Structure 1
C-alpha cells in the first residue's frame, strides 16, 4: 500500500468567498440546515467511482483538521472578518457524520447534509480532493513539464499586452483556480510564478492560504449558494434577491462589494438591483452567458440610474483564458473598472482534459433551491416543479 498523502493539509486552503458567506450565515441564520450534492458534468477518463476508497480516506483526514493559531491570526487581521467568527473557527472541526461518499452505477456520489454552518465549507475541499486524486493517476513529471511550458506562454502573452496610458483602467487578473486545480502544489507554483513574473497584471488569488503564504490580496465575495439560501429563509420568493443583497450590505457595510448576478439570470437580477443597491455595491460579477452582452447590460443599467460606470467594477469569471480576458478587457477598459478571475486555465492546463465537477447547494431548510443561469447548461435544480415556479415568479422563459 502506498503511503497516505493528504490532499488538504490546511483548512485555510480554500476560496475566500467560502469564509465571507460562512460568516454572514453564522451571524444571521445559524439555524439553517442544508444539503450539498456532488456532480461531474463531463465524461472522465475513468469512472470517478474508482476513487471511492481514496476519497473516503481523504474525508476522514479532512475531519481531523483544525485551524491553527497562526492561520486565525492572519484571517482575523482582515478588516471584514469579525472576532466572533474567528472564535467560532477556533472551535470548528468538520464532522464526518455530515458527509457521505458512495458509488452508484459507476458514478461517484458525495452528499453533505446538516447545519449549514457545519457543512457549507465541505464544497471546495471535496472538489480539490477529487481533482487531485484523479490527476495523481497521470504521469506527474510530464504533466508538470507541459504545465510550465504553457504557463510561460501565458506570461509571454501578458507581457505583450499594450496597456497604453490612454486606456482608462488597468488590466487586473486574479487566480480563481482552487476547485479545478491539478494539485495544490501546482496551484502554489502557478500563483507564485504569476506574482513574480507579471505583478503589473496579476493582483491576487481566491485561495486564502496562498494569499497568506505568498503575500497576496485574497479575492472573493459571494457565490450562488449565499443567494440561493434566501429562497428558503421565509422571505417572499419574489424578494429573495433583495433580501440577500440587503443581508450582505448589513454584514459588510461597504466591504466586499461585488454582487453576483446570475442566480436567476442577469435580467431578473437587474430588475432588483435598484439605485439603492447600485450605489452600495462596488460592482458586479459575471459567471455565465455572453460576457460582452452582460457587460453592455451592466453599463446600460448604471447609466440609466445616472451612475458613472467608471466608478464601478465588472468582474468576469466564467471559463476564462488569457485571450478571452484580453478580448473582454479591450471591450470595456475605457468604460468601467474590470477584473478577471481565471481558474482552470491557470491551475489545470497541463495537457489533460479537466473534469468539470461541482458540489452545489440543493436544499435549505428542507426546501429545494435553484439556479437559473444565463448559460442553460448551468441551470441547476433537483426539483423541476420548484424550478418552473421560480421561472414563473421572475418571468424567466424556458431556454
Structure 2
C-alpha cells in the first residue's frame, strides 16, 4: 500500500487558500470531480487500492518540526491557522471512489475549508498507484538524477529561475523527492523552491505558491461572473496584505481578467501567473497592460506554469528578456520524466455552496477552449455575461 509521508505532502497554494477560506468563508461547502482527460484505463482492483490509501490519510498529522518550519518561513500564516493545521486530519468519508470496469470515478464533498486539501494528494496517489498496478517500471534513480541535473544546468545557462510544480502528476513520491534533491544540489540560484511543502521542509528550501482557479470559481458562485475576478483579488489582498502577490489570470480568460486587473491591483500584486494559451502572446498582453497603466513592466513578474519543457522556456525567456520579470514553475517534465507516459488527469471543483445560498455549478474558461471545465449551460452563461466569443 502507498502511504503519503506527511500532511504537508501537498502544494503550498492549498494551504494558503485554506487559510483564506477559514477566515472568509468558514461555512461554505464544495464538490470536486476527477476528470480523466487522457482516457486512461485503470486496472482491476484500482478503486480498492486507492480507497485503502485514502483511508490511511486520516492518520497524517502536522508534526512540531513541520509547524515550526511554516512559522519561520511563512510569517503571513497566522499562529491561529498553524494551530488549526496541527489539529487537522483528513476525513476519508469526504471522498467517494468507484470503478466500473476500467473507468475510475472519484468525487469529493464537504466544507470547503476541509475539502480543499484533497485534490493534489489524491492526484498524486492516483498517478503512483497506476504505475504500480500496471507494473510499469521507471528508469533507474541514477538516470533520473542525471536527467534532472542536465535540465537544471541548461536552465542555469539560460539565466532563468525555476521552481518544481510537479506534485500532482508525479510518477511517485520517491521520484519527486529524488528530483527536488537533485535540483537543490545542482541548481544554485536557478532553483528557487518547490510547490510541495513537505519537500521544501526536507530540503530547507522555499515553498512556492499563491492561489488556484478554485479561488476565483468560488467567488463566481457567490458574487457572479462579472464580479468574480475583482472580489477574489480584493479578498486575497485583505487576507495577505501584500504577501503572496502573484495573481492567477486565466480562470475566465485573460481578456476578462485584465479588464478588472486595474491600476490598484496591478500595483498591489507583484505579477501574474500564466497557465493556459500561448505564453508569448500572454506576455505581450501583460506588458501592454502594465504599460497602459503607466507601470514599468520590468518591475513585475510573470510566473509561467503551463506544461513547460526546456524548448518552451527558452522561447519564452528570449521574448521576455529585458521586458518583464519571469520565473518558471515546471511540473510533469521534472517529476514524471521517467521513460513512461504521464497521466493526463485533473480534479476540479464542480459545485460550490456559499453560506445561505444554493449549490451553484462552477466553471473554468481557460485561454485554451479544450481546457474549459464545468457544466455546459454554465459555460455558455459565463461567456454571455463576460462577452466572450
- Common fold by TM > 0.5: yes
Cα distance, 1:15 vs structure 2: 0.5
State whether structure 2 residue 50 is matched by structure 1 residue 61. no
Q: Does 1:150 align with 2:147?
A: yes
Alignment gaps of 5+ in structure 1? 164-170
Structure 1 residues 90-239: aligned runs within 5 Å:
90-104=86-100, 106-136=102-132, 137-140=134-137, 142=139, 144=141, 146-159=143-156, 161=157, 163=159, 171-233=160-222, 235-239=223-227
C-alpha contact 1:98 1:112 (8 A) present in aligned 2: yes
* Cross-structure match for 2:292: 304
Is the CA contact (8 Å cut-off) linking 1:37 and 1:112 kept in structure 2? yes
Q: Shift of residue 50 of structure 1? A: 4.2
CA gap 1:347/1:64 in 2 versus in 1, 3 angstroms: same
Give 1:333 shift. 1.8
Whole-angstrom CA distance in 2 between matches of 1:149 and 1:15: 25
Say if 2:308 and 2:333, in contact at 8 Å, map to a contact too. yes
Residue 367 in structure 1 maps to residue 356 in structure 2: no
Look up the match of 1:14: 10
Q: Distance in 1 between matches of 2:82 and 2:120?
A: 20
Residues 313 and 49 (structure 1), Cα distance of their counterparts in 2 relative to 1, 3 Å cut: farther
Count residues with an aligned counterpart.
382
Change (3 A) 1:322 1:258: same
Please report the TM-score for the alignment, with normalisation by the length of structure 2: 0.95
SS of residue in 1 equivalent to 2:139: helix
Partner of 1:31: 27
SS of equivalent residue, structure 1 residue 345: helix
Distance 1:380 1:33 in 2: 19
List, as ranges, runs of 4+ consecutive aligned residues in structure 1 with deviation greater than 3 Å.
137-146
For normalisation by structure 1, the TM-score amounts to 0.92
Residues 315 and 338, structure 1, Cα contact 8 Å, conserved in 2: yes
Matched, 1:380 2:373: yes
- Provide closer, same or farther for how the CA distance between residues 347 and 27 of structure 1 changes in structure 2, counting only shifts above 3 A: same
Residues 72-126 of structure 1: per-residue CA shift (max 9 Å, x gap)? 2222231111111112112211112211101135211111101111111000110
Q: Give the whole-Å Cα distance in 2 for the aligned partners of 1:359 and 1:48.
A: 20
RMSD between superposed Cα atoms in Å: 1.5
* Mean CA deviation greater in 8-17 or 96-105: 96-105
1: CA distance, partners of 2:169 / 2:20? 25
Provide Cα deviations, 1:341-365, integer angstroms capped at 9, x if missing partner: 0000000001110001111100000
Q: Identify the residue that residue 289 of structure 1 maps to in structure 2.
A: 277
After superposition, what is the alpha-carbon deviation per residue over 1:271-322, rounded to whole angstroms, capped at 9, x for unaligned? Answer: 0100011011000000000000000000000000000011100110000012
What secondary structure, in the 3-state scheme, does the structure 1 residue paired with 2:256 have?
helix
Q: Give the CA deviation at 1:328.
A: 0.5
SS at match of 2:59: coil
Q: Matched residues in 1 for 2:43 and 2:294: separation? A: 51
Q: Could you say if the C-alpha distance between residues 323 and 264 of structure 1 is closer, same or farther in structure 2, counting changes exceeding 3 Å?
A: same
Cα distance in 2 for residues equivalent to 1:176 and 1:49: 30
8 Å Cα contact 1:43/1:355 also seen in 2: no
Q: Secondary structure at the match of 2:27?
A: coil
Change (3 A) 1:90 1:203: same
Give the deviation of 1:153 after TM superposition. Answer: 3.4
